[in-house]
Amino acid sequence: MKFPTGDKTVSIIQYVIYLLFCLFVAGIIGWIAHLILLSRELQDVPSASIGISIVAIPLFSTLIAIFSYVFWGMKRGKQ
Protein backbone atom coordinates (compact mmCIF):
# COMPACT_ATOMS: atom_id res chain seq x y z
CA MET A 1 0.00 0.00 0.00
CA LYS A 2 1.41 3.35 -1.01
CA PHE A 3 1.11 6.22 1.40
CA PRO A 4 2.92 9.53 1.44
CA THR A 5 5.27 8.02 3.96
CA GLY A 6 7.69 10.74 4.84
CA ASP A 7 9.31 10.63 8.25
CA LYS A 8 7.60 13.86 9.08
CA THR A 9 4.08 12.48 8.49
CA VAL A 10 4.89 9.47 10.65
CA SER A 11 6.15 11.60 13.45
CA ILE A 12 3.17 13.98 13.29
CA ILE A 13 0.76 11.06 13.57
CA GLN A 14 2.77 9.71 16.50
CA TYR A 15 2.41 13.04 18.28
CA VAL A 16 -1.31 13.10 17.54
CA ILE A 17 -1.76 9.62 19.03
CA TYR A 18 0.24 10.64 22.07
CA LEU A 19 -1.87 13.76 22.48
CA LEU A 20 -5.09 11.78 22.15
CA PHE A 21 -3.91 9.45 24.86
CA CYS A 22 -3.06 12.41 27.11
CA LEU A 23 -6.51 13.82 26.39
CA PHE A 24 -8.12 10.50 27.29
CA VAL A 25 -6.38 10.41 30.67
CA ALA A 26 -7.09 14.09 31.24
CA GLY A 27 -10.72 13.40 30.40
CA ILE A 28 -10.94 10.65 33.00
CA ILE A 29 -9.31 12.82 35.64
CA GLY A 30 -11.64 15.67 34.72
CA TRP A 31 -14.60 13.32 34.97
CA ILE A 32 -13.58 12.19 38.45
CA ALA A 33 -13.18 15.82 39.49
CA HIS A 34 -16.63 16.59 38.07
CA LEU A 35 -18.12 13.76 40.14
CA ILE A 36 -16.48 15.12 43.30
CA LEU A 37 -17.96 18.55 42.66
CA LEU A 38 -21.34 17.06 41.87
CA SER A 39 -21.40 14.99 45.03
CA ARG A 40 -20.47 18.06 47.06
CA GLU A 41 -23.17 20.11 45.42
CA LEU A 42 -25.83 17.48 46.10
CA GLN A 43 -24.34 16.62 49.52
CA ASP A 44 -24.33 13.06 48.30
CA VAL A 45 -21.49 11.21 50.06
CA PRO A 46 -18.57 13.30 48.79
CA SER A 47 -16.25 11.14 50.90
CA ALA A 48 -16.77 8.24 48.50
CA SER A 49 -15.76 10.32 45.50
CA ILE A 50 -12.79 11.81 47.28
CA GLY A 51 -11.67 8.40 48.56
CA ILE A 52 -11.72 6.89 45.09
CA SER A 53 -10.10 9.93 43.49
CA ILE A 54 -7.17 9.63 45.91
CA VAL A 55 -6.37 6.27 44.32
CA ALA A 56 -7.62 6.78 40.78
CA ILE A 57 -6.10 10.13 39.87
CA PRO A 58 -2.49 9.21 40.82
CA LEU A 59 -2.97 5.87 39.11
CA PHE A 60 -4.00 7.38 35.79
CA SER A 61 -1.24 9.96 36.14
CA THR A 62 1.29 7.17 36.63
CA LEU A 63 0.03 5.41 33.52
CA ILE A 64 0.43 8.51 31.40
CA ALA A 65 3.83 9.15 32.96
CA ILE A 66 5.03 5.68 32.01
CA PHE A 67 3.72 6.05 28.51
CA SER A 68 5.37 9.45 28.17
CA TYR A 69 8.63 7.98 29.46
CA VAL A 70 8.57 5.39 26.70
CA PHE A 71 7.38 7.81 24.04
CA TRP A 72 10.10 10.37 24.67
CA GLY A 73 12.68 7.72 25.57
CA MET A 74 12.25 6.12 22.15
CA LYS A 75 12.69 9.47 20.43
CA ARG A 76 15.77 10.34 22.43
CA GLY A 77 17.31 6.89 22.16
CA LYS A 78 17.46 6.96 18.38
CA GLN A 79 20.84 6.85 16.69
Partner 1 sequence: MSFENKWGQDERLFEPIEKTGWGFRATVAILLVLVAWGATSYFRQVKYGLGVTGMAEPVSWGLYITNFVFFIGISHAGTLISAILRLSQAEWRRPITRMAEVITVAVLFIGAGYVLIDLGRPDRMLNVLLYGRYQSPLLWDATSISAYLTASTIYLYLPLIPDIAILRDRARKWNFIFRILSLGWQGTAKQQKVLNRAIAIMAVLVIPIAVSVHTVVSFVFSMTLQPGWHSTIFGPYFVVGAIFSGIAVLIIVMVVFRKAFRLEAYLKEIHFSNLGLLLLVMSLLWFYFTFAEYLTGFYGHEPEEMSVFWDKFRGQYAPHFWAMVTFNFVLPIIILGNRRTRTILGTLIASITISIGMWMERFLIIVPTLMNPRLEYSRGFYFPTLTEWSITIAGFALFLLFYVVFTKFFPIISAWEVKEGREEGLEEVDHRVRSYLPDYGN
| Sign of the C-alpha dihedral computed for residues 58, 46, 44 and 33 taken in this order | negative
Alpha-carbon distance of 39 to 32, in angstroms, equals: 11
Alpha-carbon distance of 34 to 15, in angstroms, equals: 28
29 binds partner 1 (CB under 8 A): no
39 binds partner 1 (CB under 8 A): yes
Binding site for partner 1 (CB under 8 A): 1, 3, 5, 10-11, 13-14, 17, 24-25, 28, 31-32, 35-36, 38-39, 44-45, 48-49, 51-52, 56, 59-60, 62-63, 66-67, 69-71, 73-79
